[in-house]
């Protein structure tokens, strides 16, 4: 795991993305449709979806990705029927301990992104405990965005910046980034959305400024290593310019 200082939120024009993205973020969409295809209740899709986290995190870390961010529950998902929200909460409550144990054995650090306050006290404690247990792990980082919203993240940053009395002239992009839930984490190089929709749905609004975007109709519970390789191969074909121009081929330089 690189130190916070080695992360750059502002890659210069000479920055070249490595062949493997350092940070992959996934909008895990399609659990409900996966269940509907099998005439199962939606919560069965969520259960299958949570089980797929192991496979995807394992495959990405094997391929050299050092940060994985998974969008699990948005600030807008509270608008769903209360029984579905309750099912999502209880699946997380059940899964967090066993999955944290496995992540810890693999040397992976778990970080929560989002607002813990509206969650049930027991769930808040379980999430805090999972972060504490894995805090010093360095093999990779898994960010779980749960009760996360990009607008909420920006607003809570502004509130804390004002509360800290930060002088306006001192506020720049680097300082602002330190008030986000992703403090210390590089921006995502690649954002994958499963389930076919082509939108961010309030995910990483600030951090996604120069992310490459890949979407697939594959539903989240079906996303496997072969599908991930398609996304990683697509990423390798992208030319990331960050607003600058491509470097001319070496033969043109003389
Ligand atoms: C994504 O799957 C999981 C969450 C948003 C919690 P969905 O539940 O949105 O599945 P679809 O989009 O209805 O198929
Ligand atoms: C996005 O999926 C949120 C998560 C995957 C957690 P949604 O299913 O909530 O997104 P919309 O409503 O189709 O935009
Ligand atoms: Mg959906």
**Contact in structure between 212 and 189 (CB atoms under 8 Å):** yes
Whose CA is closest to 85, among 40, 51, 119, 39? 119
**pLDDT tens string 224-246:** 999 999 999 999 999 999 999 98
Q: Which ligand is nearest to the CA of 31?
A: 1
Which residue ranges have their beta carbon within 6 Å of ligand 1?
28-33, 73, 77, 88, 195
Percent share of the chain, pLDDT over 70:
91
pLDDT of residue 247: 78
75 Cβ inside 6 Å of ligand 2 = no
Residue 14 has pLDDT above 90, yes or no: no
Instruction: Give CA–CA dist 220/16, Å, rounded.
Output: 30
**pLDDT tens string 57-91:** 999 999 999 999 999 999 999 999 999 999 999 99
Around ion ligand 3, which residues have CB less than 5 A away?
29
90 Cβ inside 6 Å of ligand 2 = no
Q: What is the DSSP letter of 27?
A: E
**pLDDT tens string 161-188:** 999 999 999 999 999 999 999 999 999 9
Instruction: Kindly give the distance from the C-alpha atom of residue 213 to the centroid of ligand 2, in angstroms, as a whole number.
Output: 16
**pLDDT tens string 141-165:** 999 999 999 999 999 999 999 999 9
Residues sharing a CB contact under 8 Å with residue 250, sequence separation 6 or more, in sequence order: none
Q: What is the dihedral of CA 194, 196, 199, 200, to 10 degrees?
A: -10
């Amino acid at each position: 795991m690189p130190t916070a200082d080695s992360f750059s939120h502002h890659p210069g024009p000479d920055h070249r993305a490595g062949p493997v993205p350092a940070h992959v973020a996934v909008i895990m969409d399609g659990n409900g449709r996966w269940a509907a295809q099998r005439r199962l209740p939606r919560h069965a899709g969520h259960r299958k979806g949570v089980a797929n986290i192991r496979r995807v995190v394992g495959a990405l870390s094997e391929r050299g990705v050092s940060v994985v961010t998974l969008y699990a529950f948005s600030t807008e998902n509270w608008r769903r029927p209360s029984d579905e929200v309750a099912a999502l909460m209880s699946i997380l409550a059940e899964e967090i301990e066993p999955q944290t144990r496995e992540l810890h054995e693999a040397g992976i650090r778990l970080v929560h992104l989002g607002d813990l306050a509206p969650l049930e006290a027991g769930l808040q404690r379980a999430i805090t405990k999972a972060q504490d247990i894995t805090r010093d792990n360095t093999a990779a980082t898994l960010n779980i965005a749960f009760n996360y919203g990009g607008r909420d993240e920006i607003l809570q940053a502004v509130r804390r910046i004002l509360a800290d009395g930060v002088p306006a002239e001192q506020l720049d992009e680097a300082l602002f980034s330190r008030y986000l839930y992703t403090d210390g984490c590089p921006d995502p190089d690649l954002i994958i959305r499963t389930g076919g929709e082509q939108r961010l749905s309030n995910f990483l609004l600030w951090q996604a400024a120069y992310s490459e975007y890949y979407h697939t109709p594959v539903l989240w519970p079906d996303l496997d290593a072969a599908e991930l390789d398609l996304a990683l191969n697509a990423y390798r074909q992208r030319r990331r310019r960050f607003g600058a121009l491509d470097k001319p081929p070496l033969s043109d330089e003389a």
